[in-house]
Chains A and B, each alone.
Chain A
Amino acid sequence: MTDQPKQEGLFDCRKAWAMTLEALARDDDRIVAVVNDSVGSSNLGGFQKAFGDRLINVGIAEQNMVGVGAGLANGGRIPFVSAASCFLSGRALEQIKADVAYSNYNVKLVGQSSGVAYGELGATHHSIEDFAWLRALERLTVIAPADPWETEMAIRWAAGHTGPVFLRLSRMKVPDLGLDVDGQRQFSVGKARLLRKGSDVTILATGTTVHLALCAAEDLSHAGQSAQVYSVHTLNPLDEATILENAAQTGAIVTCEEALVRGGLGGAVAELTSANTPIPVERVGFQGFQKTGPVDWLFEQNGITAQGIAEAARKAIARKS
């Protein structure tokens, strides 16, 4: 827990990732990085300079990269396997399942430039399916930090935790979310962070959409509707207790993610609430393959904006019986 004050401005969380990993690697020589010719896109130039042969570049070979990660864990290392999320989660999915999750190896998978970060490059390079694919795997902790502070906390936790982890990072610039409602910052894996209190609807947001959810809550307040907002940084294990409490208390939920709602956070929350506390759930995110375009445009086209989230909240509130 920390009361570190909010930093002003917008941040590319890859900087927090690289600085944190380098700091951890200085203190623990078991930490190594494994990449698929992705030193630059993973922002690991500094790591390579500082630690030389502890940066293992296997070339453009994602299946091998994840298998090598499992082998390094077998040999007592703590590998951070870092690659563009689309290739890591897609090409190497069977290795993630069998070599890491099912074999229960202490491998940290780091999906860089997740979501639609590679906007114009198109659907092959978008990684919006990763939540659905990876949260299905038992034992694989799935974390999507929302700002530089959550990024640092997630990486520190992953390094100290014995077990498989997937960290879903973004290159999109985001603001520092600041303090939790209780005036502290608390990052606890598997526990959603309460960032704003409200009573009419609960907005569960993850990753790059959390700051948009906070703006949406502010807009709603001008119309007399109060929204409770969480950063759901951990998708697996999901904070089921908090979500069901909110389902009972506010009676309406909106989910937001830079991911496919089918099987993503939206899917997870719908699964959970429909089986336990059926209430209206509106899901903001992507519905399918996206066309080429800049990231902001893709967000707007899919209603992943403060206005879109506020609209979804109004719909969810209206659906309450």
Chain B
Amino acid sequence: MATRPKTNDSRLLDIDAKARWMRRRAMEMVHAKKLGHIGGDLSATDILATLYFGVLRYDPERPDWPGRDRFVMSKGHATGVLYTALCAAGYFPENWLDTYMGPGSRLNGHPNREYLPGIEANTGPLGHGFPIAVGIAIAGQLSGADYRTYVLTGDGEQQEGSNWEAAMTAGHRRLSNLTLIIDRNRLQQGARTEETVGLDPLGDKYRAFGWDVTEIDGHAHASLLDVLGAESNGPPRCVIANTIKGRGVSFMEDRAKWHHGVPDDDEFARAMKELTA
């Protein structure tokens, strides 16, 4: 898969199938291990499915290929969605997912690029991935490489000051090869973002920093594919993906307790039924 996929209907079918599989598999992993961040996994699933199966240029046989598009997972706690995406993309066999967060597993609680192929940075503490992505984009700009750099942050994560340092640098340098995606599910660990430290108007903030801002439904694959796959020669792009934390499981949707809540056996059965429907 060393060329960027084309935007077409068959691609959308694939994204849909992969997203369904990723949600179910992440739910199984979190239930089995009784650890994880299922709410954020489910809010970001459609974003990662669209990137990996509709947008990114990569080759799982050559994870260090210098020409690969980069995806930096700044919200490193959402490993359920990241690991299932990398697995579905062919970076490692499915049975590795069964070791999720087990003693000494490669599937660490937060991603480690030396444990697993396809990971660009060891994130976890918030506000780290975005500056790293800026550096990757600058490297591409310096050498005239045609790879693109995508970074996903949570919305609560935007409260970390390092993001705004990175936003200033990227805006100043007009990094057209950089796309920031914000998983705007409006919930952070403890409460709503707007009740904690409000982020709105988030788009205006990025516009003021010199970014091209687009707001979309972060679960609509066709919109995600159009926006994330578009060519850009202008300023860096900020895509505010409006999402629902816990998306796909009715009793988990939009509830802070599912940030790192773990389903019991009954909840798991109900969740799987909804995710299989």
Which chain A residues have a beta carbon within 8 Å of chain B's beta carbons? 32, 53-54, 56, 58-59, 61, 63-77, 79, 94-95, 98-99, 102-104
Contact = CB atoms under 8 A, between A and B. Distances in A.
B139 A70 contact: no
Contact of A74 (B70, B166, B168): B70
A71 B169 contact: no
B252 interface: no
B166 to A, nearest CB: 5
Task: Bin the interface of chain B by size.
Answer: 20 to 34
Contacts of A67: 128, 130-132, 134-135, 162, 166
The interface residues of chain A, by DSSP majority, are classed as: helix
A65 B122 CA distance: 17
Contacts of A58: 165, 169
B66 A71 contact: no
A74 B135 contact: yes
A74 B145 CA distance: 13
Given A68-B169, A102-B122, 20 more contacts: A58-B169, A61-B169, A63-B162, A63-B165, A64-B166, A64-B169, A67-B162, A68-B135, A68-B138, A70-B121, A71-B136, A73-B135, A74-B121, A74-B135, A75-B66, A75-B139, A94-B128, A95-B162, A103-B113, A104-B114
B277 interface: no
Contacts, number: 106
Interface in B130-175: 130-140, 142-143, 145, 161-162, 165-166, 168-169, 172
Nearest to A66: B131
Contact of B139 (A64, A74, A94, A103): A74
Q: Which of B122, B123, B130, B143 neighbours the largest number of chain A CB atoms within 10 Å of its CB?
A: B122
B142 A32 contact: yes
A56 B124 CA distance: 26
Given A63-B161, A64-B165, A95-B131, A77 B122 contact: no
B236 interface: no
Contacts of A79: 135
